[in-house]
């Protein structure tokens, strides 16, 4: 079985959409989505510098657009038929929802634009951020974060936890690391997936209130608890609440293993989740879809590990 996954914030890099614009119809599609998002996705994906695309209000729509462009190119002839499951990390869940048919591409872009703005506004209230904690005993790491007042915002598995909190709490973590662990400050603009994002939940509830929702046509795995969610509206409710609650990618990977996943493709800009899979899902073949040059290899992986169910 093959699972298709979409990365979250931080995976973007300057100019990463340039090679995708060489594919027929991509510029037109991005222009349409730019109208839905109220953002010039073509410019930000090709010309904007690292600081500009670090802005949460820019990064999130850009990532979902990139994920959908690469997904549509990959599955153009087959749809989700050969794909056994889909999932996304944090904002990547919107990519996954559109891939599974729960949201239209245009609605996903409008929602992610509101999500990005709301999270940026919430992040501006207090100086907050996130740091990756690599290694150490998992239980000891979580206890140490709690002691410092930090939230384990992303429990990613494969020895990686992302801590989130105020600048002061993160400084204390740098000075007092968990035993046998490394701490790496992340270039993100807030304490995402914590109580600091509570105001964004209300904004997102309003944004999805009247959006048409379909039923998933492929297994859709949720960040909340790794469950497969078969009801479209239930998944959208989870998308809303997830803004202020931890991402349990470790449980998603457990679900992939339980389902019998043998291959994983991470859509553009791939790399982060394939890295976690290599460490946390040994024996599973992985492929990061970075540019159109990777499409043939990705299609070969689908032909080898895809299913017609």
**For the segment 98-146, what is each residue's pLDDT rounded down to a tens digit?**
999 999 999 999 999 999 999 999 999 989 999 999 999 999 999 999 9
Mean local confidence (pLDDT), 45-49: 97
Q: How far is CA 117 from CA 37, 99, 131, 147, 195, in A?
A: 10, 23, 22, 31, 17
Q: Which helix H or strand E contains 6, and what residues bound it? A: strand 2-6
Query: Where are the domain boundaries for CATH 3.30.70.250 in the chain?
Result: 128-185
pLDDT at 253 (0 to 100): 97
Give buried/exposed letters for 227-264 (b at 16+ CB in 10 A, else e). Answer: bebeebeebbbbbbebbbbbbbbbbbbbbbeeeebbbb
| C-beta of residue 204 within 8 angstroms of C-beta of residue 240 | yes
pLDDT band at 10 (very low <50, low <70, confident <90, very high): confident
CATH 3.40.366.10 intervals, the chain:
2-123+194-305
Query: Yes or no: is domain 2-123+194-305 CATH 3.90.1640.10?
Result: no
Q: Which two tokens stand for residue 121?
A: 């506004």
pLDDT at 187: 78
2 pLDDT higher than 70: yes
Tell me the pTM.
0.94
Question: Is residue 193 annotated as part of the catalytic site, yes or no?
Answer: yes
Let me know if 29 is exposed, middle or buried by CB neighbors in 10 A (0-12, 13-18, 19+): middle
pLDDT of amino acid 78: 79
At the fourth CATH level, the homologous superfamily of domain 128-185 is Malonyl-CoA ACP transacylase, ACP-binding (3.30.70.250)
Identify the active-site residue in 44, 89, 144, 193: 193
Q: Which of 90, 131, 196, 305 is catalytic?
A: 90
Q: How confident is the model at residue 81 (pLDDT cuts 50, 70, 90)?
A: confident
Q: What is the pLDDT of residues 243-276, one digit of tens each?
A: 999 999 999 999 999 999 999 999 999 999 999 9
- The residue length of the chain stands at 309
């Amino acid at each position: 079985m093959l699972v298709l996954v979409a990365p979250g914030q931080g995976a973007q890099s300057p100019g990463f959409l340039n090679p995708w614009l060489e594919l027929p119809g991509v510029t037109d599609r991005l222009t349409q989505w730019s109208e839905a998002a109220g953002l010039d996705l073509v410019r930000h994906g090709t010309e904007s510098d690292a600081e500009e695309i670090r802005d949460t209000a820019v990064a999130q729509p850009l990532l979902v657009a990139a994920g959908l462009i690469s997904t549509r190119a990959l599955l153009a002839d087959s749809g989700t038929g050969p794909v056994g499951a889909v999932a996304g990390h944090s904002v990547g869940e919107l990519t996954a929802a559109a891939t599974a048919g729960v949201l239209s591409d245009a609605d996903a872009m409008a929602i992610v634009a509101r999500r990005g703005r709301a999270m940026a506004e919430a992040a501006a209230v207090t100086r907050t951020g996130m740091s990756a904690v690599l290694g150490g005993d998992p239980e000891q790491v979580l206890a140490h974060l709690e002691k410092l007042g930090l939230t384990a915002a992303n429990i990613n598995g494969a020895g990686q936890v992302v801590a989130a909190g105020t600048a002061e709490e993160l400084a204390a973590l740098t000075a007092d690391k968990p035993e046998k662990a490394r701490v790496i400050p992340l270039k993100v603009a807030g304490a995402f997936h914590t109580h600091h994002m509570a105001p964004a939940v209300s904004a997102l509830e309003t944004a999805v209130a009247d959006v048409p929702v379909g039923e998933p046509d492929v297994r859709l795995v949720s960040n909340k608890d790794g469950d497969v969610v078969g009801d479209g509206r239930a998944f959208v409710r989870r998308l809303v609440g997830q803004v202020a609650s931890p991402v349990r990618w470790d449980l998603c990977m457990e679900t992939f293993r339980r389902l019998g996943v043998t291959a994983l493709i991470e859509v553009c800009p791939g790399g982060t989740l394939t890295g976690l899979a290599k460490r946390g899902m040994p024996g599973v073949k992985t492929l990061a879809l970075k540019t159109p040059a990777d499409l043939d290899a990705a299609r070969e992986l689908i032909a080898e590990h895809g299913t017609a169910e």
